[in-house]
Amino acid sequence: MIVPQGIEASMKANILTVKGPKGTLSFTHHVDVAIAIAEGEITVTKKGESKRASALWGTTTKMVGNMIEGVTKGFQEQLELNGVGFRMAVAGKKLNLALGFSHPVDMAIPEGLEAKVEGNVLTISGIDKQAVGQFAAVIRQLKPVEPYKGKGFKYVGEVVRRKEGKKSSS
């Protein structure tokens, strides 16, 4: 995998560190794979022919690619909140949510992530793909979209199959 201009990659023991314009990320790789940096290129090779080594090779390759993309472009997830009376706001490093519970929900925004609210869309951005996706999943789990009225959090672009409600007999 080719390292773009302006990105520094270094290895120390089994820790790969990637520095770029958006920040620095580190990754400790498993002993069943080897990472080599030479002439602006990062090469991931597997040690041995076991099933585990093959699985770790693919995972490590993807992790290195995500690190490079994260320090150059960054990642973002967008969640849409639908429902009457449901509100969200960002106050400093806290996310305030009114989701129809008997109490408001306050969530601390993890270090290294940024959250913005525009209308009913929450945008979570950062350089670590795993952290961005995990925080979005935790928020969505608070009030997942329900299939009858479509109320709750859904990812922007997600299609929710709607169900028909009860029919009254007359």
Taking only the tens place, the pLDDT of each residue in 40-99 is 888 889 888 888 888 999 999 999 999 999 999 999 999 999 988 899 999 989 999 998
Specify the long-range contacts of residues 22-29, CB closer than 8 Å, at least 24 apart.
Answer: 22/70, 22/71, 22/72, 22/73, 22/74, 22/127, 23/70, 23/71, 23/112, 23/127, 24/71, 25/67, 25/70, 25/71, 25/127, 25/128, 27/63, 27/64, 27/67, 29/60, 29/63
| CATH class of domain segment(s) 75-155 | alpha beta
Pairing of strands 33-38, 113-118: unpaired
Single pTM value for the model: 0.86
Band (pLDDT 50/70/90 cuts) for residue 166 is confident
Domain with CATH 3.90.930.12 in the chain: 8-72, 75-155
Q: Any idea which fold 8-72 has?
A: Outer Surface Protein A; domain 3 (3.90.930)
Specify the range with the lowest mean pLDDT, choosing from 19-23, 67-71, 134-138, 166-170.
166-170
